[in-house]
Amino acid sequence: MTDVPTWPRMGAEECDAAIEWIRSNRMTQLHGPDAVGAFEAALAAYHDVPHAVAVNSGTSAVHLSLAALGIGPGDEVVVPTYTFVASATPVVYQGATPVFVDVRESDYCLDPARVAEAVTPRTRAVVAVHLNGHPAAVTALREICDRHGLALVEDAAQAIGARYGDRSIGAFGVTTCLSFWQDKIITTAGEGGAILTADPGIAARLRQLRSHGETAVDAPRLYHHSILGYNYRLTAPQAAVGTVQVGRLADFVECRRRNAALLSEALSGIAAVRLPGVVGPAVPSWWKYTCVLDPEAGAPAPAEFTEALRRRGVPAQPRYPIPLHRQPVFAPYVDAGRAYPVAERLCARAFSLPVHPAIEERHIAFIADQVRAVAAGSGGR
Ligand SMILES: Cc1ncc(COP(=O)(O)O)c(C=O)c1O
């Protein structure tokens, strides 16, 4: 058996950067703002946006985006039903109503036609999730948002490094949310996030919301809190790790694109396994390589298929077994009259394979052999 490597891989530079800040005894952003400021500057430069605001998670990034936009009770926010729970929970934190919408078979992202149908006079924003590193149809979504006066929030937690045409993610939404959780494309040592924006007023509001709603955090502190805020700050050692990781980002994304292309080649021709596509001008950053099983070609359910793969040493996972409209936490918000055929199909059939930069060609050959063998052994062809 070939050992398929895990992700992330932290190098000496990341460790040294964190230790330097720990040794300095200036670990909070309040006493070590230069580390957080340097990380924000690196993120803003990479994305060619004027402002990046670092926070302690991708969930906090989505929450603060909605808070900064003033979304609250009585407002509706459109969210795909096929995504990670944290694309939608922040809507509920704000006392607003998540309106779940179906996705497209082609890219697993929001279907603009379904979004247009879901808009009501109460709709205030659309959360466009770039799932698995594949950008959502941002041009079409932006057009709908502009037509109805809605805010487009890009949830790019899984998609740092992705482009749509010649523009990086972050160029389309009023805010764009990033996550640096442990196995994301880059990490700030386990947890972390950031918000990108071109709007200086929103950037200022995000900074205030991030730190207890305090009017200014410069010394001497005034302890003056004009709005309801949170403690969503990133620490200095985490930010220092993040700055090193931003320096590696272009290489990481290139590796992921190469691995995805190699996997597509190695997995071609298995009738029971439909491979992920690239839609329109999207240039994905390939966080996960997500395939769809075809029961009509003899494939079993993803739980069974991925369990067989894991027994053979391939860390495959069912890719969101439960859509958000069937999660108990969102039961009060679900419109029983709305159908989600694509999301239901994906939840019943999709699984993901790793394509991260630690994977080499020999691992790809191994993974493809195992997928082929499991598909054949389970009756799939
Ligand atoms: C689409 C999406 N949005 C938001 C988040 C939340 O990010 P975090 O785990 O950093 O809070 C995640 C995390 O995986 C995600 O996948």
Which of 158, 180, 317, when mutated, tests ligand 1's pocket best, judged by the most ligand atoms within 8 Å of its CB? 158
Predicted pLDDT of residue 222:
86
Closest-CA residue, ligand 1 atom 10, reads: 58
The model's pTM: 0.97
Instruction: List pLDDT tens digits, range 305-315.
Output: 999 999 999 99
Predicted pLDDT of residue 364:
98
Predicted pLDDT of residue 1:
66
What the block records as the tokens of 343 is: 């999301």
Looking from the CA of residue 192, the nearest atom of ligand 1 is 10
Which of 59, 131, 178, when mutated, tests ligand 1's pocket best, judged by the most ligand atoms within 8 Å of its CB? 59
Which amino acid would we find at residue 137? A
Write phi, then psi, for 174 (nearest 5 degrees).
-70, -35
> What is the b/e burial string over 335-355, where b = at least 16 CB atoms within 10 angstroms of the residue's CB?
eeeeebebbbebbebbbbbbb
Instruction: List pLDDT tens digits, range 241-265.
Output: 999 999 999 999 999 999 999 999 9
Ligand 1 residue neighbourhood (C-beta within 6 Å) = 57-59, 62, 83-84, 86-87, 129, 155, 157-158, 179, 181, 193
Looking from the CA of residue 59, the nearest atom of ligand 1 is 11
Cα of 236 vs centre of ligand 1, distance in Å, is 21
Write phi, then psi, for 16 (nearest 5 degrees).
-60, -40
Q: Whose structure tokens read 């740092």?
A: 160
Please choose, from the candidates 44, 34, 60, 41, the residue with its C-alpha nearest in 3D space to the C-alpha of residue 196.
Answer: 44
Predicted pLDDT of residue 379:
57
What the block records as the tokens of 256 is: 């992921």
On whether the CB atoms of residues 102 and 55 are closer than 8 A, the answer is no
- Under-70 pLDDT residues of the chain: 1, 32-33, 217-219, 379-381
Predicted pLDDT of residue 219:
64
